[in-house]
Amino acid sequence: MGECAHMLDDGGCKILPDRRQSNQNLDPKRPEGDIVITKPVGQGGANVYDDVYNIQYGLDQVAPIDGGPSPQLVIDGLCGPKTIGAIRNFQKKHFGYAGCDGRIDPDKQTLKKLNELRNRNVFPTIPLSLKTDGFLLAGMMQHVPHIRACVHAAMTNISLAMNVVDSTLPGMLGASRESRMRLLNKHFRTDNFKGAKRPVLQKMYDNYSCMLNVLDRPEAFTTLDTTNEGETISTVAFARLGGFHDKNDLTGKIVFRRGVLFATGIPDFAAFIFIHELRHYVARDGAQGHFAKGWVTDPGMLALKEDKTVLNCDTFAGFALEAKNGDMQRPPWVRSTVFR
Ligand SMILES: [Zn+2]
């Protein structure tokens, strides 16, 4: 299998669709890339319709503080006093009175400056690099103590249940079997498993335990996705399936993307995402982990049978959160999706 086959793009974690491919709302005549003109525009220029149109468009994209027109020009392809005035103002701002002839020539300084300024305003994207965008990783890492506490709470809950799960004795000391199994049954439907249930819980416990190993050294196991230039804010994260156990490929990490910005300010959201990715990352069974997405009370999640819940990433995440926080209202940031 090639690298792509191992990389599990976390489709369920997308926040917004990428709309860049369909700019139907934009004027089809909007100049793409740098503005190019064929003849001079402005005072005494040839003022070819398309050239004027593009210059007007470009000037309107420049902020007034940078010499752009205020109010904005009417973009009509006709070069009148307002367009010439706007060119003069723009030139005065950047080149002083000496460079203020009211005319823009192809490939000269005014056009270069205009392209330089307007490019800032076109399709803004967040730059993503380990040098400049470490704040995204840092924003997630600040929640590691909380995430550890969630994973710990999940392990405690499971270990308490392990002592009673296969017991048929009623009236044990301490908490009843029912109360110890309540959260596990809510999320994983553990009691629906036929036969001995302790091994099932042991496997889940081991999963969470591996997660703690990662959370002990998050800097060794996480990184930013810096390969998708021009990518808009969309996907939150992805992880190499079973990457934690893969001795042949130590480069596989949990990869956070721009979309994670939205989670960095919300501890439980950060925990939900991180634990979801951790479940992919520590998987030994090759299960992709996307049987349903959402909160435990969502229809898609409720429909999962016990053989799927024990593999499902969002189930692991939601269980850990409720083990830590107690029963929660459905958080507004959870996305609900059913996979087939
Ligand atoms: Zn996923």
Which CATH number fits the domain that encloses residue 205?
A: 3.40.390
Predicted structure pTM score: 0.63
Is the link from the previous residue into 71 a cis peptide, with omega within 30 of 0? yes
pLDDT score recorded for residue 34: 85
23 occurs within a structural domain: no
Mark whether 306 and 215 lie in a shared domain. Answer: yes
Q: Ligand 1 centre from 153 Cα, in Å?
A: 22
Higher pLDDT: 14 or 207? It is: 207
The residue-averaged pLDDT of 39-61 equals: 94
Token readout for 213 is 């190993």
Mark whether 318 and 274 lie in a shared domain. Answer: yes
Please give the angle made by the CA atoms of 40, 33 and 230, to the nearest 5 degrees. 165
Q: Ligand 1 centre from 295 Cα, in Å?
A: 14
Q: Ligand 1 centre from 124 Cα, in Å?
A: 27
259 occurs within a structural domain: yes
272 occurs within a structural domain: yes
Range of the domain at 302: 3-16+128-338
pLDDT score recorded for residue 250: 58
Q: Ligand 1 centre from 50 Cα, in Å?
A: 48
Q: Ligand 1 centre from 299 Cα, in Å?
A: 18
Token readout for 134 is 């470490």
Select from 121, 154, 185 the last residue of a domain.
121
The domain tally of the chain equals 2
Predicted confidence (pLDDT) per residue in 198-255, tens digit: 999 999 999 999 999 999 999 888 988 876 554 444 568 888 888 888 776 656 889 8
Select from 78, 95, 121 the last residue of a domain.
121
**pLDDT confidence bin for 140, thresholds 50/70/90:** very high
196/194 Cα distance (integer angstroms): 7
Mark whether 91 and 152 lie in a shared domain. Answer: no
32 occurs within a structural domain: no
- φ/ψ (deg, to 5) at 7: -80, 125
Cβ(88)–Cβ(73) under 8 Å?
Answer: no
Q: Ligand 1 centre from 290 Cα, in Å?
A: 6
Mark whether 257 and 324 lie in a shared domain. Answer: yes
Mark whether 86 and 148 lie in a shared domain. Answer: no
Mark whether 99 and 219 lie in a shared domain. Answer: no
Helices 49-60, 81-95: axis angle to 10 degrees equals 50
- φ/ψ (deg, to 5) at 195: 80, -160
- CA proximity to 335, closest of 300, 310, 305: 300
Helix (H) or strand (E) segment spanning residue 7? strand 7-8
Cβ(163)–Cβ(294) under 8 Å?
Answer: no
